[in-house]
Amino acid sequence: MKKKFNVYCTLLLLAFAICQFADPTSGFRDFVRGFNEGFESAGNETESPDSEEMSIFLEPNHYAIHPDTLINTVNGEKVPASIQAVRIYPSSLKADSVYNITSSVNMFIGFIVALSLVWTFITLITSVNRGEIFENQITRNLSRLGVFLLIIYLSEIVYELNLYFHLKSQFAVEGYRLIQYAGHNNMYLYTGLALLAIAQVVKMGKEMKDEQELTI
Amino acid sequence: MPIVINLDVMMAKRKMSSQELAEKIGITQANLSILKTGKAKAVRFSTLEAICEVLDCQPGDILEFRKDL
């Protein structure tokens, strides 16, 4: 039973590490792009362009009116279109100290919480392997994991809001409005709340175990 | 809890030590102590039966219900 538990926990840790610290798809994409740009700039003997791009998400001010048109190349007909996102270079934006400080603090908190999360999870695994299952320590660790996940979720939302207001102050397109980038992961919220609930179940199990032990 | 264990009273009446009683009813002294101090959450019928047999008494002599507690 412990073997299965350990296998699942190891898989979970690996998945977390991959998702948090090394997104394999974006890492590979960045590598290929960097290689190509470096190759081109070496051949042309020109400076490589700013490779860091970011997306700004847009939606038309009026849903019924499409501010743009595209040409259907089959029949040459104009078709209404709406731009959903534009790509910009962050270096072209003005420096904003409030944005920089807030995003740095947010990133720092997220990093510390992610490390604490891993540490607490490892403590949880070792406790369970020692046979301490229905114990106060497990309840505390599960609750901590839940709270850490909720903090990461909130930190993502704060980052998005911060970015949204930073961009809104410097970027506007006629006929469109900026929309908040909804890239936060709701799974953090669900998992965090689920862990808090499981912690309460373990707490109840501990109370039942105590009661059983005090049955003479 | 309004249930009071009067085990020590019965033990004193029968002039029996904790060690002797624990041995005769087949529980540890630690568990007997939990029972005597009222920290136990429940008592098994088998334990109660053994206590009554050894102390030659009725369950009511050991367990008492006090409303005011």
State the pLDDT at residue A173. 83
Closest-CA distance of chain B to residue A207, Å: 11
Contact B42 A210 (CB under 8 A): no
| Residue of A211, A212, A216 for testing the chain B interface, max B β-carbons within 10 Å | A216
Higher pLDDT, A71 or A42: A71
Reported as a single tens digit per residue, the pLDDT across A92-149 is 777 777 777 887 888 888 888 888 888 888 888 888 888 888 888 888 988 998 998 8
- Whether B32 contacts A201, CB under 8 Å: no
Nearest C-alpha in A relative to B34: A214
Low-confidence residues in chain B, pLDDT < 50: none
Q: What is the mean pLDDT of chain A?
A: 81
Residue B15, min C-alpha distance to chain A (Å): 22
> Hey, of B41, B45, B46, which one would you mutate to test binding to chain A, going by the most A CBs within 10 A of its CB?
B41
Reported in sequence order, the residue ranges of chain A that DSSP labels E, i.e. its strands, are 54-60, 68-71, 78-81, 85-88, 176-178
**pLDDT in the model for residue A45:** 57
> Which residue from B minimizes the CA distance to A210?
B41
The pLDDT of A28-55, averaged and rounded, is 65
Neighbours of B68 (CB within 10 A): 4
Contacts of B25 in chain A (CB under 8 A): none
> If pLDDT is split at 50, 70 and 90, which confidence band does A84 have?
confident
* DSSP category for residue B65: E
Burial class of residue B21, CB neighbours in 10 A (0-12, 13-18, 19+) = buried
Q: Is the pLDDT of residue A157 over 90?
A: no
Chain A residue with minimal CA distance to B33?
Answer: A216
The alpha-carbon gap from B22 to the nearest alpha carbon of chain A, in Å, equals: 11
Phi, psi (rounded to 5 degrees) for B39: -85, -10
Chain A residues whose CB is inside 8 A of the B43 CB are 215-216
- Supply φ then ψ for residue A58, to 5 degrees: -125, 155
Within 8 A of B32 by CB-CB distance, chain A residues are: 216
The amino acid present at A199, given as its one-letter code, is A
Q: According to the model, what pLDDT value does residue A87 have?
A: 83
CA distance A177 to A181: 12
* pLDDT > 70? residue A76: yes
CB contact under 8 A, A214 and B43: no
What is the interface pTM, i.e. ipTM, of the complex? 0.71
| pLDDT single digits (tens) A6-36 | 898 889 888 877 776 665 555 566 667 777 7
- Residue B47 has its nearest CB partner, among A210, A214, A216, at A216
Closest Cα of chain B to A193: distance in Å? 32
Element (H, E) at B64: strand B63-65
What pLDDT is stored for residue B52 in this prediction? 93
The predicted structure's pLDDT at residue A169 = 83
Phi-psi region of A180 (alpha: psi -120 to 50; beta: other; left: phi over 0): beta
Average pLDDT, chain B: 89
**CB contacts, 8 Å: B42 with chain A:** 211, 214-216
Strand ranges (E), A61-197: 68-71, 78-81, 85-88, 176-178
Going by pLDDT thresholds of 50, 70 and 90, the confidence category of residue A158 is confident
Is residue A207 within 8 angstroms of chain B, CB to CB?
Answer: no
Is the CB of A214 less than 8 angstroms away from the CB of B47?
no
